[in-house]
A = this chain, B = another copy of it.
Amino acid sequence: MIVEKLAIVGTGLIGGSFALALKQAGAVRTVFGVGRNPASLDAALERGLIDRVVDWAETGQADCILLALPVGETAAVLKKLVPHLKAGAIVTDAGSTKVNVVATARAVLGERFADFVPGHPIAGSEQSGPGAARADLYQGRKVVLTPQVDTRADALATVTALWQAAGAQVETLDADLHDRVFAAVSHLPHLAAFALVDELAQRADGDTFFRFAASGFRDFTRIAGSSPEMWRDIALANRAAVLTELDAYIAALQALRSTVSDENAEALLAIFSRARAARIHWADTQA
């Protein structure tokens, strides 16, 4: 399958890597770039992620349009796009939350909602911007699509084929389950890492603490280097599930606190042993 014209709205790590992978796979002919940040578009052009910078009218003439932006910008971008959408154009997204993106797309796209394929590539990095884009970012990674009952089957098939051409393994999930799962395994860890680093940074003697932080701290807090705008949008877009996960995590930490306070050596060993076994089992499934 070859897509003649692909448009990328937001030519950063996610959008740029998608374009690069599809170019290398020969799955797209021409890639348009559009976005609010001229420096990012220039860098994307220079790196060959996109072939041309276009306006919204020309974006609407693409065969497939990927939104690769913080989810908070979905409504504004779709509003700019919808008057220009040519017949048959497919719109998809790479947002980290899906229920709110689906609701927004349904509201803004109206009868064109059938052409919208909600998606979420499970890849990324604390790096961002077109400079971080890589052709192999999606190689072997999962991409979750959350099609709705009225999503056009051929739009879903095209988006699936594009992600597969980029090297990804495509799965479909109910949007609500998607949001609950990623609140737990992605959104919560990001918030927990941000909270830990900020709490230390706020201390008057914080420098003494950071000075002795080592590899455990480095890995635990790597994701605290992620884009603040993106994570603000995710926390708000998936608020209910994120609050549920924060509550579950705070409760788990309070239970652990009681166990330490009670000097319950046996219970501590049980918690740590279960966690270690689960972590090792998980790592084995990833290998």
| Minimum CB–CB distance for A74 against chain B, Å | 15
Nearest residue, chain B, Cβ from A72: B265
| Minimum CB–CB distance for A186 against chain B, Å | 6
* 9 A-B pairs in the complex with CB atoms less than 8 angstroms apart: A124-B216, A141-B214, A181-B209, A182-B212, A189-B217, A195-B256, A198-B274, A199-B248, A216-B222
Query: Does B212 lie within 8 Å of A142, measured CB to CB?
Result: yes
| Minimum CB–CB distance for A3 against chain B, Å | 26
Query: Does B141 lie within 8 Å of A252, measured CB to CB?
Result: no
Most chain B beta-carbon contacts within 10 A, residue among A198, A215, A263:
A198
A196 within 8 A of B: yes
A153 within 8 A of B: no
A242 within 8 A of B: yes
Contact with A239, one of B218, B263, B275 (Cβ below 8 angstroms):
B263
Q: Decide: A197 near B275, CB < 8 A? Known: A222-B219, A250-B250.
A: yes
A257 within 8 A of B: yes
Query: Does A220 lie within 8 Å of B189, measured CB to CB?
Result: yes
Q: Which residues of B contact A125 (CB under 8 A)?
A: 215
Query: Does A265 lie within 8 Å of B236, measured CB to CB?
Result: yes
Q: Chain A, 212-243, contact with B by CB distance < 8 Å: what is the 0/1 string? A: 11111111111111111101100110010011
Query: Does A257 lie within 8 Å of B253, measured CB to CB?
Result: no
Query: Does B243 lie within 8 Å of A250, measured CB to CB?
Result: no
Q: Which residues of B contact A219 (CB under 8 A)?
A: 219-220, 222-223
Q: How far is the CA of A269 from the CA of B189 in the complex (A)?
A: 17
Q: How far is the CA of A257 from the CA of B249 in the complex (A)?
A: 11
Query: Does A209 lie within 8 Å of B224, measured CB to CB?
Result: no
Q: How far is the CA of A128 from the CA of B217 in the complex (A)?
A: 18
